[in-house]
Amino acid sequence: MQGWLSILIMIALGAGFALISVVLSSFLGPRKPTPEKLAPYECGMPPVGDARERQSVKFYLVAMIFLLFDIEIAFLYPWAMALRDLGWNGFAQVLLFIALLLAGYVYVWRKGALDWGGDQATARRRSTIGD
């Protein structure tokens, strides 16, 4: 029970801090927002156009690919900590894991998901690779 108590205390402290932050921001925040205060800051230059523009789907695609391939660190870190105990069998398993990640990376690369240019070669490459 002692172990769970410390976890519950940490959860309560985190939730309390979040609640206090929200309540204090409503009390201490600006009362009368002006257009100057609401304008986005652009390096000291006057803003040009609307700041709320639609973003390309490529940004979200890159974010998802980053999450997929970067989460490997969460799996490789415990392996690195237990490398001496795992021996060659563990080493072979991690090599297989990295090979699968590399195959996924090559697939994404060949599909053109990492290609930001809109040239004709990219379009031809996408059409030759099977969906």
Question: Could you write out the three-class secondary structure of the chain?
Answer: CHHHHHHHHHHHHHHHHHHHHHHHHHHHCCCCCCHHHHCCCECCECCCCCCCCCCCHHHHHHHHHHHHHHCHHHHHHHHHHCHHHHHHHHHHHHHHHHHHHHHHHHHHHHHCCCCCCCCHHHHHHHHHCCC
Assign 27 a pLDDT band (cuts: 50, 70, 90).
confident
Q: What is the pTM assigned to this prediction?
A: 0.46
Say whether pLDDT at 20 is over 90: yes
Domain edges within the chain: 2-128
Q: Tell me what the mean pLDDT of segment 102-106 comes to.
A: 88
| Cα–Cα distance measured from residue 116 to residue 122, given in angstroms and rounded to the nearest whole number | 9
Cβ(104)–Cβ(68) below 8 Å? yes
What topology is assigned to 2-128 in CATH?
Methane Monooxygenase Hydroxylase; Chain G, domain 1 (1.20.58)
Question: Position of tokens 């060949």?
Answer: 110
Higher-confidence position of 9 and 74: 9
